[in-house]
Structure 1
Amino acid sequence: MLSLRSSVIALAATLAITTACTNKKVDNPLAKVDSKQPDKVLFDRGMDAMKHNRFDMARLEMQTLINTYPDSEFIARAKLALADSWYAEGGTASLAQAEQEYEDFRTFFPNMPEAAEASVKIANIHYQQMEKPDRDFTHAVRAEQKYREVITQYPDNPKMVAEARKKLLQVQEVIAEREFRIGRFYYLRQAFPAAIARLQSLEDRYPLYSGADDTLFLLGQSYEGEIAALRKMDTTEQQLHHQGKVNEARLKANQLARERMSDDFAAKAVEAYSKILTRYPVMARSDEAKARLIALHQPVPRPTKAALALNKAEEDSRGEQTMLARAMGMVSRHPDVSIATKVGDPTLIDPTPIDGRAIVEAANRTAGGAKGGEHSVSVQTTGKGEPGPNEPAPTSDAPVADKVSSGAANAETPADPNELNPNATQADPKVANDPKAAAPDPNELQPNTTPDPQPAPAPAQVNDLAGATSSSTGNGGGDAQAGTNGNQGAAASSNQDLADDNAIASSKRKKKKGLGKIIPVPKLP
């Protein structure tokens, strides 16, 4: 009895282990093909071995098929299965080998539908190895590049494009978080030009970032930090002026330059705060941006209904990190991508990044006055520089008045009557004295004559029935077209209408979940 019970337990354990070792994700795409050909037999053996996680045996079968039957119709499937075996095995070395095999498949079979699948799996390889925003971002950048290639190169494959678009938004969320942390680091260290360059580039590149409002707010704060630094410099220089170390002319010139720079920085800060209210009105920084605009004595803009609905849809699509994911995130190297939006299109082409040196150079140009600066030189041509027909060549000691008077004399020289003037109107005295010649011929063709703005009336309709039918049809079509255009215009105008305070306030309300009910969200400085 005891031995029978032990046998049953051992059999159950064996079945459990066998079931657990079966890879349910592996599916034989040629299972329904009824063929006893040797190449098909090798392919089935390889897929069965892969299904039971015997990856070495699966690769051996597929490699035998490729080498023995190079003209087989299963070559493409075998090469793809060879790459899938490395991909399913996992590990850094196996994933690197899988990427190479997928690249080879794309090279040899670029027109097959599976080429898009191979491209997505190449991107997934880097997606799986992507680390947190404060760690190495090599795989994140590579994943972004590969997902963009899938979207641009295979637009006719909606399934692969949808998967690539979803994961591209998640990858860009991680990269944007990294860029934001760097910009915030520069801001806290009061390296405002570097912070402005980093934050402005982030806003231009990733507008769907979950911290876009924080990005714009820190951008405005960085510009205000520059203004505060200029005021501090002004106070210091005035003290040096009172001590006699700076003269009056230099003090006024520097004050004028700082005033111009301050006005430029203030305008850019207002632009950043205004964009929070018009593009991201639902996000948390909108109230603080409104307060800063009021403090700067600037008008507070209102978002349109379309912008409010768009931002609300973006925020509603974002997920929240669970308590288990938050606990596992302390020991996991993979980033949390639940906060990435699911609405909107990811950025496919990166704009030109802004350099911190360009920020400083632009500020220096603004301090100089106009775009060309105060010391810009303009050249104006007043003549050809040649002497008149009866004048000697001018010398270097000739007075300027002589040159000007000679130029005026040349300007008053009468025109040559023998000179050809094709655009001049010539009056023939014979034609002027002849009344018949002066009267226009009504039968003469006049192609350059302006047509009469009032055309001749249309002839009367002979067929009344046809005229009535066409008239009624034309009026009906016109009314229908006018109604359609009117509805479209009304819808467009309603989307462009400004949202009221109640709509904005109701869109901001979001029910807190979990620990968010008792733990407030920390605010950035």
Structure 2
Amino acid sequence: MPLWGSRAGLGAVAVMLSLLAACSSTPKDETAGMSNEKLYAEARDEAAAGNYERAIRFYERLEGRTAGTLMSQQAQLELAYAYYRANEKAQALATLDRFIKLHPSSPALDYALYLKGLVNFNDNLGLFGRLSRQDLSERDQQAAKESFQTFRQLVEQFPDSPYAPDARLRMKYIVNSLAAYEVHVARYYFRRGAYLAAANRAQQAVQDYPESPAIEEALFLLSQSYDRLGLTQLRDDAQRVLKASFPESAFLTRGFEADNRPWWQLW
């Protein structure tokens, strides 16, 4: 056999062996020698340092190791929080839903509900998120509604929970934001001459969020939309409610067509 052929053959064999070695090797498990307590401490340290992806790997391994124990429940909750902070919302919600389903009598159930509400909570929503300069998607609205329902379950089931006061504040914020969004949409339709659509959205706000400050403009929009539609009786009814509920309303004298600012900037 020629020398060059022999060298080529040896080279080919070497390449094949290296490929086989690469295929047979597996990533080293850095947690293999750790005790459960050490693994938990490492996971917490990584989360505290903001290394959420690494913390997630540790918590997942710990949960699997300690299945059926209180440590597994703790790892599950902290895993959900790590997912939340890593902006992996779907994984966080799935983890929390699994916890709530498997541990309905857990002493940490109030925290699980609170965290689930937080995952869906959008603090850029509505009035305080510059609603007049952004259009929020229906997906944002659905998440806000789910957040409200979870917070409500928390405060009803655990009224004395340390998480209940903040949940109540967030519920109020969500209600006001959702109402403001409905009015925002109603105002959009009204200014484009879609009076029936405007009336429907304003009516929705009045029905669903009667305690919200945004109802003042909703009633005004409702009366103006009915007026444009020639529904005088409904117009007069809406105006009566507006006058009775907000006797000093700027809408009674100024409206919004003379001033394009939203209702919360009229004063």
TM-superposed deviation, 1:153: 5.5
In the alignment, residue 109 of structure 1 is paired with which amino acid? Answer: H
For the pair 1:193 / 2:196, whether they are aligned, the reply is: yes
Q: CA RMSD in A?
A: 2.9
Give the equivalent residue in structure 1 for 2:80. 83
TM-superposed deviation, 1:79: 1.0
Q: Distance in 2 between matches of 1:88 and 1:195?
A: 38
Residue 217 of structure 1 contacts residue 285 of structure 1 at CA under 8 Å; is this kept in 2?
yes
What's the TM-score once normalised by structure 1's chain length? 0.37
For the pair 1:214 / 2:217, whether they are aligned, the reply is: yes
Give the equivalent residue in structure 2 for 1:406. none
TM-superposed deviation, 1:171: 2.4
Which of 69, 72, 91 is the matching residue for 1:97? 91
TM-superposed deviation, 1:282: 4.5
Residue 220 of structure 1 contacts residue 268 of structure 1 at CA under 8 Å; is this kept in 2?
yes
TM-superposed deviation, 1:76: 0.7
In the alignment, residue 269 of structure 1 is paired with which amino acid? Answer: R
Q: Distance in 2 between matches of 1:128 and 1:220?
A: 31
For the pair 1:119 / 2:113, whether they are aligned, the reply is: yes
For the pair 1:106 / 2:72, whether they are aligned, the reply is: no
Give the equivalent residue in structure 2 for 1:61. 58
Q: Distance in 2 between matches of 1:126 and 1:73?
A: 26
Q: Distance in 1 between matches of 2:67 and 2:37?
A: 13
Q: Distance in 2 between matches of 1:72 and 1:182?
A: 50
Give the equivalent residue in structure 1 for 2:233. 267
Residue 213 of structure 1 contacts residue 286 of structure 1 at CA under 8 Å; is this kept in 2?
no
SS at match of 1:74: helix
- The 5 Å alignment of 1:37-436 reads 38-89=35-86, 91=87, 94-128=88-122, 132=131, 134-152=135-153, 154-158=155-159, 159-227=162-230, 265-287=231-253
> In the superposition, relative to structure 1, how do residues 174 and 192 fare at CA in structure 2: closer, same or farther (>3 Å)?
same
Q: Distance in 2 between matches of 1:144 and 1:202?
A: 14
TM-superposed deviation, 1:129: 7.6
Q: Distance in 2 between matches of 1:225 and 1:183?
A: 14
Q: Percent identity between the aligned chains?
A: 20
Q: Distance in 2 between matches of 1:160 and 1:108?
A: 21
Unpaired stretches in structure 2, ≥5 consecutive residues = 1-33, 126-130, 256-263
Aligned length: 217
> In the superposition, relative to structure 1, how do residues 124 and 140 fare at CA in structure 2: closer, same or farther (>3 Å)?
farther
TM-superposed deviation, 1:77: 0.5
Q: Distance in 1 between matches of 2:61 and 2:153?
A: 36
Q: Distance in 1 between matches of 2:199 and 2:54?
A: 56
Q: 1:411-448 deviations in whole A, cap 9, x for unaligned?
A: xxxxxxxxxxxxxxxxxxxxxxxxxxxxxxxxxxxxxx
Residue 213 of structure 1 contacts residue 284 of structure 1 at CA under 8 Å; is this kept in 2?
no
What's the TM-score once normalised by structure 2's chain length? 0.68
SS at match of 2:211: coil
TM-superposed deviation, 1:193: 2.8
TM-superposed deviation, 1:100: 1.8
* More helix, by proportion: 2
Give the equivalent residue in structure 2 for 1:262. none
TM-superposed deviation, 1:154: 4.9
> In the superposition, relative to structure 1, how do residues 139 and 121 fare at CA in structure 2: closer, same or farther (>3 Å)?
farther
TM-superposed deviation, 1:80: 0.9
Q: Distance in 2 between matches of 1:147 and 1:99?
A: 15
